[in-house]
Amino acid sequence: MSDQKGHVKSEVRNGIGVITFFHPQSNSLPGAVLRELAAAISHAGNDDAVKVILLKSEGEKAFCAGASFDELVSINDKESGTYFFSGFAMVINAIRLVPKFVIARVQGKAVGGGVGIAAAADYTFALETASVKLSELAVGIGPFVVGPAVERKVGTAAFSAMTINATQWHSAQWAHQCGLYASLSADANQMDNSIDQLCHQLVSSNPEAMSELKKIFWKGCEDWEALLNERAAISGQLVLSDFTKNAIAKFKAQIK
């Protein structure tokens, strides 16, 4: 595929707002794509033709490899770092604030920010091969921005285990048991059939009831706009350290 900067596509199918993101580097997310994704989610939330939002990524491999390493290594000041990480805050808060359920389709591995997106979704479908990892500490940062979304879903014990052992992959079965994934499927066809069934059921449900339920599900998170921006500033500072820059450069060299 020739699109080297990545993209976000949106369409409405029979009441389902389908939002798809892509980046050639395992669906990692640069700042521009993060902001485009947040805007697309907010737009779908305000579209009366959309009754439920389906969030997915392109391809058959990784769901999302998290932050773009190319962009991380190019950050040279705290303001730029904070701006970059606030993109993840914008996506999570967009999911939180839209008055419609956000359904996520996780077809492959999720790392870092990808785990955050899967956790922020109101209902997440995944394949049995869709393992997860919070790798941030391994490159000298930490899952500060996505942490509240992940901890909200899996609890403090599982979140801290993922965070501390930053090089360990956790299986989709483990993620399901912890509540990160609501549904597991053996293959993509089975998963897509289950997604279609639930989405069409929700399209026919009372939108006011779903909106009120969403408020209940997210009760206690009203301060997240300020909280996640504060966390973005922490990451924005840490990414400037020699430790982090060297760790990211070493990691990039290993995957070439």
Residue among 226, 84, 55, 228 at smallest CA distance from 151: 228
**What mean pLDDT do residues 158-163 have?**
98
- Sequence spans of domains, the chain: 7-190
Angle at 44 between CA 42 and CA 46, to 5 degrees: 75
Task: Give pLDDT tens digits for 110-139.
Answer: 999 999 999 999 999 999 999 999 999 998
User: Is pLDDT at 39 greater than 70 in this prediction?
Assistant: yes
Contact call for residues 61 and 22 (beta carbons, < 8 A): no
Contact call for residues 134 and 163 (beta carbons, < 8 A): yes
* For the chain, counts of helices (H) and of strands (E): 11, 8
Tokens 């305000």 locate to: 46
The tokens for 221 are 């998170």
Task: Give pLDDT tens digits for 4-30.
Answer: 899 999 999 999 999 999 999 999 999
Under CATH, what is the fold of the domain 7-190?
Answer: 2-enoyl-CoA Hydratase; Chain A, domain 1 (3.90.226)
| Model pTM score | 0.95
